[in-house]
Amino acid sequence: MVQGLTQRASGVLLHPTSLPEGRLGAGAYAFVDWLAAAGQSWWQVLPLGPPDDLGSPYTSASAFAAWRGLLAEPDAAVTSREIAAFRRKQAYWIDDWERFAGGDAVADQIRFQREWFALRTYARGRGLSLIGDLPIYVATGGSDHLAHPELFLRDGVAGAPPDVMSRLGQLWGNPLYDWAALRREGYRWWIERLRRTLDFVDLARVDHFRGFVAYWAVPNAVRTARTGRWRRGPGAALFEAMRAELGSLPLIAEDLGVITPAVGALRDALGLPGTVVLQFAFDGNPRNPHLPVNYRERLVVCTGTHDTDTALGWWNSLSRRRRAATGVDPSDPAWSMVELALSSRAAIAITPMQDILGLDTSARMNRPGTKTGNWSWRLEPGQLTEKLAARLRTATIATQRVGYIHAA
């Protein structure tokens, strides 16, 4: 049940690791119930793969495998028949993952699939769809990198140029794709990756969409991303190959960063909704695409993302003059941002749970350019109150988003 992208709807961003227990299980079902009571239509999560040693799900050891650490029942029994059936269906990647992860690698994927599919079915019954996340890159030395070295370059690593998020740029360090090699194999690796992603979610956010037009390549063994340069990406050819194999592409373009006309042209040619972030709107530029007056309907608006400060933290960082220019209610800036997103023209409005709770910088999920202290925020028991759900539901109804059809 994927809501049309021209139909007004809203949802909440909360990764399963931010549930009180930090995994699936009773807390995940309780969160679905709370979202339904709050009149929401979408639950957005971050990538579901195994995170790196610092907790980042964007540098995963696999672009296909889900993380065992999310399991509510990690020791549940798995039959040999289930294993054989899973191997047949997931033949493209499961042997590579088993060689890399060892142990109960296959059984863990079956356990995850059981738990996630049950949760997804429950969410659908409560009127909720799921938005996932498709990171553009994989981890150096991860399962995909080791199994398909021919699909990656050796003369540089991934990153982002200096921008408002980081004055030195972001040195991600992921291996770069050899797009010519991927083209020769018909983009099979990417087709199978998207197929697997859509096993779990109804709509997927394509991380760093601009990298498919041109990506920032940083030479090996440098200390910052400032010395990188742009290289041409695959453009429409990749998406056309995926569409030819999989049909419609239920994707959101995360078109943030250094955006050129070519990036917007690719997004629009593919018919994908773009992304705008309210925290980026108030720079005094009347043409700023993040400013609500400039929105199109085919957009996803967020108060903030996993990479930004919370709305309250952002507000606290502004000067008095900058605050006055935003039009945000100073008595409750976080909720004012929530209402601004909901009332905008964008088809889908997504709010991080931290902003609904009105939390400050201490609840931030990630600080780009830093390696420690990220990805660890969790809900506290009792924070998801009936009163808070009613407040969000009232705002959702008032802004004519489709969540109002849900039963109380």
pLDDT in tens, 332-351: 999 999 999 999 999 999 99
Does position 405 have pLDDT exceeding 60, yes or no? no
Give whole-number Cα distances, 259 to 28, 161, 168, in Å. Answer: 36, 12, 18
Residues tagged active-site: 207, 254, 307
What local confidence, expressed as pLDDT, does residue 275 receive? 96
Please report, rounded to a whole number, the percentage of residues in the chain having pLDDT higher than 90. 86
Does position 178 have pLDDT exceeding 50, yes or no? yes
Q: Which residue has the higher pLDDT, 19 or 405?
A: 19
Over residues 156-166, the mean pLDDT reads 82
Which positions ≥6 away from 351 have C-beta within 8 Å? 10, 11, 12, 13, 302, 303, 338, 341
Does position 260 have pLDDT exceeding 80, yes or no? yes
What local confidence, expressed as pLDDT, does residue 118 receive? 98
> Residue 90 and residue 83: Cα distance in Å, rounded?
10
What local confidence, expressed as pLDDT, does residue 84 receive? 97
Q: Which residue has the higher pLDDT, 257 or 14?
A: 14
What local confidence, expressed as pLDDT, does residue 403 receive? 60
Does position 92 have pLDDT exceeding 60, yes or no? yes
What local confidence, expressed as pLDDT, does residue 3 receive? 43
Does position 377 have pLDDT exceeding 60, yes or no? yes
CB 317 within 8 A of CB 309: yes
Whole-prediction pTM: 0.93
Over residues 304-318, the mean pLDDT reads 95
The count of residues in the chain is 408
Does position 33 have pLDDT exceeding 50, yes or no? yes
| Phi, psi torsion values for 312, nearest 5 degrees | -70, -40
For residue 228, what is the DSSP state? -
> Residue 14 and residue 38: Cα distance in Å, rounded?
14
> Residue 339 and residue 327: Cα distance in Å, rounded?
12
Does position 77 have pLDDT exceeding 70, yes or no? yes
For 351-371, what is each residue's pLDDT tens digit? 999 999 999 999 999 998 788
> Residue 171 and residue 318: Cα distance in Å, rounded?
27
For residue 180, what is the DSSP state? H
For 206-226, what is each residue's pLDDT tens digit? 999 999 999 999 998 888 888
402 pLDDT tier (thresholds 50, 70, 90)? confident
261 pLDDT tier (thresholds 50, 70, 90)? very high
Over residues 97-116, the mean pLDDT reads 96
Does position 165 have pLDDT exceeding 70, yes or no? no
